[in-house]
Amino acid sequence: MSQTPRYRFAPSPTGFFHVGGARTALYNWALAQREGGVFVLRIEDTDESRNSPEWTSGIIDALAWLGIDSTSPQFEGPYFQSQNASLHIAAAHRLYESGHAYWCDLTPEQIQERAKASGKQGYDGYSRDRGLEPGAGRVLRFRVPEGTTVIRDLVRGDVEFENSSIEDFVLLRGNGSPMFLLANVIDDIEMRITNVVRAEEHLPNTPKQQMLWHSLGHEPPVWAHVPVLVNEQRKKLSKRRDKVALEQYKDEGILAEAMVNYLMTLGWAPHGDTEIVPWSTIVEQFRLEDVNHSPAFFDVKKLHAFNGEYIRALSIADFIATCRPWLTAEDVPWNADRYNEDAFIKVAELVQTRVVTLSEVPAMVDFLFLDTPIIDEQAFAKTFAAEFAVPFLERCRAAYASIDWTHDALKLHLDALSEELVVKLGKLQAPLRVAVTGRTVGPPLFESLEVLGRERTLRRINDALSRSV
């Protein structure tokens, strides 16, 4: 009879949610879902400097954005490591009483001196058999046994560590507070965790944790250490150098589904030859045994490609709804009261295939809501340098004053002009586009004009004509 699998995600609240953490959380969540297990969230807040209540709600929000729903029956927590401190300390004392740990009065400086004198690194086990009693400033150290420790890891297979290469590590600090390693293990035991899936950087700590599990009389969980995410220099993603905050990607208009899908293809791939798959497929197919062993480059370009796919897959109604927050934000280039959703709806379809992130949307339609367009000077100079530009615009102005105001009629007229002036339509329309939208690229021009309206179009042509002389 197998027990229900209990996975866990144990971030420390450092102020923002890291994309690497997001991937680890997603791995755990996918597995818990598929196996009918539980996803336990534990906030590892035992370091004072990494603790602030709003960080925690930030984590919950980030998880929710990723689709990890804290109200799901398969979600448990959040638990707070700091609240279990007495449990950690009690366990440490049990370890002392059973002979698995001992007290040590060496200061870090003394340890360094001894290491220097002996030519070996680290703590040398000096206090192992000194039979010290607990006392002020004394740390409790784990007595690492002889032998070897084998970690059964689902992604890496068996990893062997020589115990002699592991020093007697600290369980309790001189001030009596528990160390992370201990707290982590005690919490996992307490929460009946059966599967630990986390980043590879924890692998070197795992033998210590496994020894703790055994010393405390428990069978260790199933381990799985997944490769880290790296930057183009192939270094672990760091918040100092790299853009790693999930929030930043959300703010630039990355869709959660795209982020989730992309993250899952780092170190793993769905079956078949498309990587764009719904979460349900991922849950069906994801197995730790299939996770790649080497670090994966977090490629923003590919993330954007995924995002473009997801944006284009949206129904037009969903696309409009998804754009709304970006079009009604504070920092939009037009006066908020000038925003007209009906106008946006008319061009939405044309915008949808032209953006990769939602943050690009406002700049693509700003000319509709601005009194006067934001003129790109370089584009203006370049397009108005053409000989035909001014005469063309003058004729355009004359014709557009009376023509039927539909994109077809608008275009038809330019087609005729194009033939007459022997300038290809593609070139011909450029000055018009710059005059009206301020830019050289954008949604199809005649549809844009139709939505803009005759009056505003003519005014902008006038403005352009007068500034070009």
Partner RNA sequence: GCUCCCAUCGUCUAGUGGCCUAGGACACCACCCUCUCAAGGUGGCGGCACGGGUUCGAAUCCCGUUGGGAGUGCCA
The residue within the footprint of RNA, chosen from 85, 132, 159, 277 (CB under 7 A), is 159
Closest distance to RNA from the beta carbon of 330 (Å): 27
Applying CB under 7 A, among 174, 190, 376, 468 the residue interacting with RNA is: 174
Provide the mask over 279-308, with x wherever binding to RNA is found by CB under 7 A and - wherever it is not.
----------xx-xxxxxx-x-xx--x--x
C-alpha distances in Å from residue 58, one per residue of 43, 64, 274, 444: 12, 10, 33, 41
**180, 175, 176, 202: which is closest to 81 by C-alpha?**
180
Binding of residue 360 to RNA (CB under 7 A): no
139-142/101-104 β-pairing: antiparallel
Taking the C-alpha atoms of residue 426 and residue 290, their distance in angstroms, rounded to an integer, is 50
Cβ atoms of 307 and 255 closer than 8 Å: yes
Is residue 77 within 8 Å of 6, Cβ to Cβ?
no
Specify the DSSP class assigned to residue 388.
T
What are the residues whose beta carbons fall under 8 Å from the beta carbon of 12, sequence distance 6 or more? 43, 44, 45, 47, 50
- Which residues form the catalytic set? 239
Query: What is the DSSP-derived secondary structure letter of residue 290?
Result: G
Which listed residue (33, 46, 210, 457) binds RNA by CB under 7 A?
46
Of the candidate spans 72-80, 90-98, 268-276, 460-468, the one that interacts with RNA by CB under 7 A turns out to be 268-276
Site residues (CB under 7 A) for RNA, limited to 304-333 = 305, 308-309, 312
Choose between 37 and 267: whose C-beta lies nearer to RNA.
267
CB-neighbour burial class of residue 183 (10 A; exposed 0-12, middle 13-18, buried 19+) = buried
Q: How far is CA 387 from the centre of its chain?
A: 50
Q: Does 269 bind RNA (CB under 7 A)?
A: yes
**Least Cβ distance, residue 71 to RNA (angstroms):** 26
Decide whether 37 or 227 has the Cβ nearer to RNA: 227
Q: Is residue 382 involved in binding RNA (CB under 7 A)? A: no
445 touching RNA, by CB under 7 A: yes
Question: Which part of the chain contacts RNA (CB under 7 A), choosing from 1-9, 124-132, 156-164, 324-332?
Answer: 156-164
Closest by CA position to 203, among listed 250, 244, 154, 170: 154
The count of chain residues that interact with RNA, using the rule CB under 7 A, is 86
Of the pair 74, 115, the CB lying nearest RNA is at 115
Contact 193, 8 (CB under 8 A): yes
Q: List the interface residues with RNA, window 176-215 (CB under 7 A).
A: 179-181, 183, 200-205
Residue 83 interacting with RNA (CB under 7 A): no
Are 284 and 56 in contact by the 8 Å Cβ rule? The answer is no
Q: How far is the CB of 376 from RNA (least distance, A)?
A: 12
Q: Rounded to 10 degrees, what is the CA torsion of 268, 270, 271, 274?
A: -120
Strand partners, 161: 149
As beta bridge partners, residue 401 has none
Among the listed residues 440, 454, 459, 463, the single contact to RNA using CB under 7 A: 440
Query: Could you tell me the smallest distance in angstroms from the CB atom of residue 355 to RNA?
Result: 7
Task: Scan residues 205-264 and list those touching RNA (CB under 7 A).
Answer: 205, 227-228, 230, 233-236
Determine, following the binding rule CB under 7 A, whether residue 268 of this chain makes contact with RNA.
Answer: yes
Task: Select from 66-74, 216-224, 336-344, 444-452 the region that touches RNA (CB under 7 A).
Answer: 444-452
Is there binding between residue 443 and RNA (CB under 7 A)?
yes
Residues 388-427 that bind RNA (CB under 7 A): 407, 411, 425-426
Q: Least separation, in Å, of the C-beta of 170 and RNA?
A: 4
